[in-house]
């Protein structure tokens, strides 16, 4: 059993928390990664409007250039428009996909620091959240994008996103036995800033300026459509690079459609690659690409209690 607490230098006292969204606030919908479908975004707009928000599409939100939502300069321009506009109080990504890493160096971090705004998204948006953490110490929201599908993100998913964006209450997520990663667990309790997100993007950030120092942090990992041997390879790379040295704990989210013909499961791999780090590990958290995805702040102080089966995170907004 382990009880890990982040050293003082990695605590979240220097984190920038933007104001919580309020009814009447304008939120800009951006596509920093892959192209999106207007019919799915229409459902997300309906949802946001129902919360009293005023969703506005970024100029290039529906742009398309192959697997990208328009050229790098267009995607960066949309983000910079959102960060510079004092009327925009939140930035919500339509979806992930691929491409955020190609344009994050063009973000106007001075504008982000002048007027911090809540930024929400997940998957490839992990790269954007890492860049904003590096450049502005901005806490973010790891949750569904506006390209909404009710069959994957039902009412409880909507309520979870609403709470993270529009309230200042801590967020608690319980491990669920129905999740494939539920059996991935090392007892103990850990406290530290919650950092991470999509495993592919964490690994792709190694060697870049955006890779956060995970010393004293609770690492969040989730993934989709990657077979167990690739999960093994990514975690092994993180280990060999020293990125996991000094971790306080690991929060394991959903590993959706991560299976192949071998008898080794993704839970087996996660247990093998994370179980001997000497820190608490909690699997079974409904955070990621699976049905019933819940929202959590990232960059703020978290307490992972593997014995109780809970992850509690301080709000990303104030």
pLDDT value, residue 5: 46
Parallel, antiparallel or unpaired: strands 140-142 and 296-298: antiparallel
Whether 142 is a known active-site residue: answer no
Q: Of all residues in the chain, what percent carry a pLDDT higher than 90?
A: 96
The tens digit of pLDDT for each residue in 152-207 reads 999 999 999 999 999 999 999 999 999 999 999 999 999 999 999 999 999 999 99
**Portions of the chain given CATH number 3.40.50.10740:** 26-166
pLDDT value, residue 6: 41
CATH class of 26-166: alpha beta
Q: In terms of Cα–Cα distance, which of 152, 120, 153 is closest to 299?
A: 120
The tens digit of pLDDT for each residue in 233-248 reads 999 999 999 999 999 9
Structure tokens belonging to residue 41:
């975004």
Number of Cα atoms under 13 Å in the Cβ half of residue 237: 14
Parallel, antiparallel or unpaired: strands 171-174 and 185-186: unpaired
Structure tokens belonging to residue 94:
């339509």
Long-range own/partner contacts, residues 43-51 (CB < 8 A, 24 or more apart): 43/148, 43/149, 43/150, 44/92, 44/94, 44/145, 44/146, 44/147, 44/148, 45/146, 47/148, 47/158, 48/92, 48/146, 51/23, 51/162, 51/166
User: How many other CB atoms sit within 10 Å of the CB of residue 46?
Assistant: 11
d(CA 305, CA 318): 24
Instruction: Provide the CATH topology of domain 2-14+170-313.
Output: Glucose Oxidase; domain 1 (3.50.30)
d(CA 250, CA 277): 10
CA-based end-to-end distance of the chain:
34
Out of 31, 226, 289, 301, pick the active-site residue.
289
Out of 123, 157, 205, 314, pick the active-site residue.
123
The tens digit of pLDDT for each residue in 87-115 reads 999 999 999 999 999 999 999 999 999 99
Whether 180 is a known active-site residue: answer no
Whether 123 is a known active-site residue: answer yes
User: Any bridge partners for residue 218, and if so which?
Assistant: 194, 249
Eight-state DSSP code of residue 105: G
**Residue entry with tokens 């996909």:** 97
Out of 222, 223, 226, 301, pick the active-site residue.
222
pLDDT value, residue 10: 42
Positions of E strands within 48-146: 54-57, 88-93, 118-121, 140-142
**Portions of the chain given CATH number 3.50.30.60:** 2-14+170-313
Whole-Å CA distances, 287 to 199, 246, 254: 12, 23, 6
- Burial of residue 211 (CB within 10 Å: 0-12, 13-18, 19+) is middle
- Burial of residue 27 (CB within 10 Å: 0-12, 13-18, 19+) is buried
The answer, yes or no, to whether residue 8 has pLDDT greater than 60, is: no
pTM strictly above 0.75: yes
The answer, yes or no, to whether residue 4 has pLDDT greater than 90, is: no
């Amino acid at each position: 059993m382990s009880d890990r607490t982040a050293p003082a230098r990695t605590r979240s006292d220097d984190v920038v928390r933007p104001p919580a969204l309020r009814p009447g606030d304008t939120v800009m919908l951006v596509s920093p990664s892959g192209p999106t479908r207007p019919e799915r975004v229409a459902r997300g707009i309906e949802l946001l409007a129902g919360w009293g928000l005023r969703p506005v599409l970024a100029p290039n939100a529906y742009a398309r250039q192959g697997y990208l939502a328009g050229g790098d300069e267009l995607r960066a321009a949309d983000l910079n428009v959102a960060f510079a506009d004092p009327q925009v109080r939140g930035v919500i990504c339509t979806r992930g996909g691929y491409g955020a890493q190609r344009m994050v160096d063009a973000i106007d971090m001075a504008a982000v620091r002048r007027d911090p705004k809540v930024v929400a998204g997940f998957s490839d948006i992990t790269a954007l959240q890492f860049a904003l953490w590096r450049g502005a110490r901005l806490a973010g929201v790891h949750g569904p994008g506006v390209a909404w599908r009710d069959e994957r993100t039902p009412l409880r998913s909507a309520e979870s996103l609403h709470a993270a964006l529009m309230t200042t209450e801590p967020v608690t997520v319980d491990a669920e036995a129905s999740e494939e990663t539920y059996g991935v667990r090392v007892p103990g309790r850990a406290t530290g800033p919650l950092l991470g997100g999509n495993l592919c993007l964490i690994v792709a950030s190694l060697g870049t300026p955006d890779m956060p120092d995970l010393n004293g942090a609770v690492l969040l990992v989730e993934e989709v459509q990657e077979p167990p041997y690739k999960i093994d390879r990514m975690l092994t790379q993180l280990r060999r690079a020293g990125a996991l040295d000094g971790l306080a704990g690991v929060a394991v989210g959903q590993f959706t459609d991560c299976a192949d013909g071998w008898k080794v499961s993704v839970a087996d791999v996660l247990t093998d690659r994370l179980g001997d780090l000497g820190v608490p590990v909690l699997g079974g958290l409904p955070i990621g690409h699976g049905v019933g995805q819940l929202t959590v702040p990232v960059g703020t102080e978290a307490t992972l209690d593997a014995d109780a089966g809970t992850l509690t995170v301080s709000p990303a907004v104030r």
